[in-house]
């Protein structure tokens, strides 16, 4: 029903991922409206968003939706909002998230006395990172994984109150607008 007449090519789909043709503002407004209209509690939606945001710190790209959905289900958060929360992790934010995860993981490796966590090379390409993860996982992947999951746990308590406040205010504004429209229609 809502399909395009002409499906997007792979190149166009990739471009849409990085720069939506509808514009960032419209994409963000659409996502915000979808979240506000969820018929779940404010707590559940905010928890889901926080979990989704936190999962974006992990290096397991491609599994963020799955991780967020499972964690939201386990902690009784809203699964859809958790999946939407993963969009905080995007091509613009991943380098910062992942550098933070790797640095924190390396720091904990040093504290725990675990050998093998090395420094990042000056130039890190995708192929070099994949090679390092498969041949020497303790150098890159394991510290990144440890730091990423520490950041998941650390960010949820800080992001939850922010999301809770925003969702609560948006739901109240929506309820007020609906009540005003119903009042106008009744008179």
Looking at the structure of the chain, the number of domains it has is 1
Is residue 183 assigned to a domain?
A: no
pLDDT in tens, 107-123: 998 888 887 666 666 67
Cα–Cα nearest to 154, from 84, 88, 86, 101 = 101
Residue 1 has pLDDT above 70, yes or no: no
pLDDT in tens, 60-90: 888 999 999 999 999 999 999 999 989 888 8
Question: Which of 8-17, 80-89, 115-124, 169-178 is predicted with the least confidence, judged by mean pLDDT?
Answer: 115-124
Q: Which pLDDT belongs to residue 121?
A: 65
Is residue 32 assigned to a domain?
A: yes
Helix, strand, or coil here: 1?
A: coil
Alpha helices in 62-140 (DSSP H): 64-74, 79-85, 94-112, 126-135
Is residue 150 assigned to a domain?
A: yes
Q: Which pLDDT belongs to residue 32?
A: 79
Q: What Cα–Cα distance (Å) separates residue 97 from each residue in 28, 91, 146, 181?
A: 21, 10, 13, 43
Is residue 66 assigned to a domain?
A: yes
Is residue 94 assigned to a domain?
A: yes
pTM for this prediction: 0.76
Domain that holds residue 88: 17-163
Cα–Cα nearest to 82, from 74, 60, 101 = 74
Mean pLDDT of all residues belonging to the chain: 86
């Amino acid at each position: 029903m809502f399909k395009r007449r002409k499906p997007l090519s792979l190149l166009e789909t990739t471009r849409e991922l990085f720069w939506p043709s509808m514009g960032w503002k419209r994409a963000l407004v659409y996502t915000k409206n979808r979240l506000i209209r969820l018929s779940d509690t404010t707590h559940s939606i905010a928890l889901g968003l926080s979990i989704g945001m936190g999962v974006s710190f992990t290096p397991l790209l491609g599994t963020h939706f799955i991780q967020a959905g499972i964690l939201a289900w386990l902690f009784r958060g809203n699964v859809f909002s958790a999946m939407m929360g993963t969009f905080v992790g995007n091509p613009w934010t991943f380098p910062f998230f992942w550098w933070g995860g790797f640095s924190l993981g390396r720091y904990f490796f040093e504290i725990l006395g675990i050998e093998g966590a090395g420094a990042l090379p000056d130039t890190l390409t995708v192929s070099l990172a994949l090679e390092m993860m498969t041949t020497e996982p303790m150098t890159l992947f394991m510290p990144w994984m440890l730091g990423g999951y520490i950041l998941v746990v650390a960010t949820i308590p800080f992001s939850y109150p922010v999301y809770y406040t925003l969702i609560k205010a948006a739901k109240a504004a929506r309820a007020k607008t609906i009540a005003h429209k119903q009042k106008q229609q009744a008179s």
